[in-house]
Amino acid sequence: MNILRRRALLFFSMMGALILFGTLGFIIVERYHWFDALYMTVITLTTVGYYEVKALSGAGRVFNMVLLLVGVNAILFGVGMMTSTIIELQLDHYFDRKRRQRMIDSLHDHYIICGFGRVGRGAAHELMHAKVPIVVIDNSEDRIDMVIKAGMLGVLADSTRDETLRGVRIDRARGLVAALASDADNLFLTLSAKTLNPKLTVATRANEEESAAKLRRAGADSVVSPYGVTGSRLAQSLIRPHVTQFLDYAMLDPSVDLGIEQFRIDPGSGFSKSAVRDLKGMRKEYGVTVLAIRRGDGEMVFNPDPDSPINTGDHLIVMGKASSLHQLEKLLVISKS
């Protein structure tokens, strides 16, 4: 759209310059009053064929012919430029939309972000940092422009409509972030998403406390209240400032080579049906620490003892350097989820 604005500005600037040139010319050559000069300039440039305010002198006729030739050609040039610009933009938009749709159709195990407000932008940037495929849906053209400029796939549409969700291949998606403005929209979106893909993991925001229970009943796997989380975080930063700072370093600061990751134990993993003591070599070789085990039935075992069993379907919550975590993922032959 910037090129259209620039060319429109060029066109109107050129027309303004021509009108100013013609007005001053008639004032100087024919001694017209400024309004009569402006009138003569406009009827000349628009070629309407009205009679002159008064008979033109020889010099006035020469000037009028020059103004007519220059003005008509300038107007034709400007109209052609604007027309070609609009056609180019429409074609670019069409082919760009087709290209983005092809990219979306090829996605698997991707994440869908519905709403690109402050919450949606935060989720998108975190997922980008995790280097996972994402698609953003928003009904604001300006926000979708921001998405595309940031290097993400964006779709200008209403995310509460089933055809929109099908268009971003929700049937093959791994997770969805519902970050729309109202709890009602997030509730409707959660119901639609879970209906289209029951295995989808849905994380949603809730502005009101009473909406959280409804969103969970609708199928949301995680419900976050931005205001509640912010208040709790502020209090924690006062009571436990060093703990809060550590978590910031581990989870939010990209300049610090430290991360906390979760790994799912698959049947093909060499550590399936083993114990925590079998993982001790990981700390020495990779410098990682097992913080907790999330059992398949939902039980969370914090700071597991050496005899704690590791079963298929469990998740290991591991802390260490980002490079070490990546190597560990390959070693365990497991998948993150």
Say which CATH number the domain at 271 has.
3.30.70.1450
Residue 161 C-alpha from the chain's centroid: 19
The pairs formed by 16-19 with CB atoms below 8 angstroms and a separation of 24 or more are 18/45, 18/67, 18/70, 18/71, 18/74, 19/45
CATH number of domain containing 163 = 3.40.50.720
pLDDT at 1: 54
Greatest pairwise CA separation for the chain in angstroms:
109
| Total of domains in the chain | 3
> Are both 225 and 278 inside the same structural domain?
no
On whether residue 142 sits in a domain, the answer given is: yes
On whether residue 67 sits in a domain, the answer given is: yes
pLDDT at 335: 44
Helices vs strands, H then E, count in the chain: 12, 12
Boundary residue ending a domain (53, 86, 102): 102
On whether residue 237 sits in a domain, the answer given is: no
Question: Of 192, 213, 216, nearest to 203 (Cα)?
Answer: 216
DSSP conformation class of 272 = T
pLDDT at 334: 47
> Are both 90 and 144 inside the same structural domain?
no
> Are both 85 and 158 inside the same structural domain?
no
> Are both 223 and 271 inside the same structural domain?
no
pLDDT at 304: 83
On whether residue 89 sits in a domain, the answer given is: yes
> Are both 17 and 76 inside the same structural domain?
yes
pLDDT at 71: 85
pLDDT in tens, 87-120: 877 767 666 777 777 888 888 899 999 999 989 9
Contact 226, 201 (CB under 8 A): no
- Cα separation, 324 vs 317, whole angstroms: 14
- Cα separation, 210 vs 80, whole angstroms: 58
Instruction: Tell me how far CA of residue 47 lies from CA of 34, 51, 64, 67, 72, in angstroms.
Output: 20, 11, 11, 11, 8
> Are both 220 and 131 inside the same structural domain?
yes
Spell out, as residue ranges, where the chain has pLDDT lower than 50. 334-336
> Are both 119 and 203 inside the same structural domain?
yes
On whether residue 337 sits in a domain, the answer given is: no
Boundary residue ending a domain (57, 87, 102): 102
Alpha helices in 116-258, H assignment, sequence order: 118-129, 141-149, 162-167, 183-196, 209-217, 226-239, 241-251
pTM: 0.61
pLDDT at 252: 66
> Are both 174 and 80 inside the same structural domain?
no
Boundary residue ending a domain (213, 230, 247): 230
> Are both 120 and 218 inside the same structural domain?
yes
Per-residue b/e over 138-153, b at no fewer than 16 CB within 10 Å? bbeeebbebbeeeebb
- Cα separation, 181 vs 196, whole angstroms: 22
Two tokens at 334? 């497991």
What is the identity of the amino acid at 309? Answer: P
Contact 146, 157 (CB under 8 A): no
> Are both 69 and 91 inside the same structural domain?
yes
Residue 46 C-alpha from the chain's centroid: 45
On whether residue 240 sits in a domain, the answer given is: no
> Are both 225 and 279 inside the same structural domain?
no
Contact 177, 165 (CB under 8 A): no
On whether residue 75 sits in a domain, the answer given is: yes
User: How far separated are the first and last CA of the chain, in Å rounded?
Assistant: 40
pLDDT at 184: 92
CATH number of domain containing 66 = 1.10.287.70
Residue with tokens 């910037």: 2
Domain of 65 in residue numbering reads as 2-102
pLDDT in tens, 168-192: 999 999 999 999 989 999 999 999 9
On whether residue 306 sits in a domain, the answer given is: yes
> Are both 77 and 176 inside the same structural domain?
no
